[in-house]
Amino acid sequence: MRKKPAKPGFGRKIGYARVSTEDQGTDPQSDELHAAGCDAVMNEYASGADRSRPVLTKLLNDIQPGETLVVVRLDRLARSVSHLLAVIEQLEDQGAHFRSLRDPIDTSTPQGMFSLQVLGAVAQLERALIAERTKAGLFAAHARGRVGGNPVLVSRDQETIRALR
C-alpha cells in the first residue's frame, strides 16, 4: 500500500555513503552529504554489485514520507539500472524522494526519472566496457606468456608459502 507522498523537499535529508571495503573511508562522502544539509548519514562497507546491503535495506525500510535519500553519486547507491530503479520505486512507495549531489536528479518529475534512467544506463555501460578492456588486457598478457597473480605464490617459493600459512 502506498503511503501518501509529502511535498518534495519536506522532511529530513538522509545521506547514504558507501565504499567497497573497510580499507576505504566514507569521510569524503560523509563530509559532502553533511555540507548538503543531511540530518544523518548512514555509512556502508559493501560492494556496489552486492544488492544485499544491510544498511541500505534498513534505510529503505525506515525512510518516512517526505524524507529524501541523498547520495554523492549514483554509483554509490546502485551499480545496475535495474537495481537503481528498484530502489527509486521503493522510495516512491514510501512517499520518499531521491537526490544525487553530482548528478542533477529530481525524481518527482518525468524528466528527472528519464535523466535518472539515462545516467544509470551510461554508468552500467561504462562498467561493462571497463570489464571488457580488463579481460582483453589479461588475455593479451597471457598470450605473451605473462602469468597474473602474486609473483611469490606463482613462483611456488615454498619458504614464502609456509610463512604465509
Task: Return d(Cα 128, Cα 5) in angstroms, integer.
Answer: 36
> Would the pTM of this model clear 0.95, i.e. be above it?
no
Just list the catalytic residues. Answer: 20
Q: What is the mean pLDDT of residues 38-57?
A: 83
pLDDT in tens, 119-145: 778 877 887 888 899 888 888 888 888
First-to-last CA distance in the chain? 54
**Which residue do the cell numbers 544485499 mark?**
52
Task: Return d(Cα 97, Cα 65) in angstroms, integer.
Answer: 8
Of 76, 80, 79, the residue nearest 59 (C-alpha): 76
Summary mean pLDDT of the chain: 81
| Range of weakest confidence among 71-85, 101-115, 149-163 | 149-163
In the chain the domains, ranked by start, together with CATH numbers, are: 1-165 (3.40.50.1390)
Is the separation of the CB atoms in 4 and 95 below 8 Å? yes
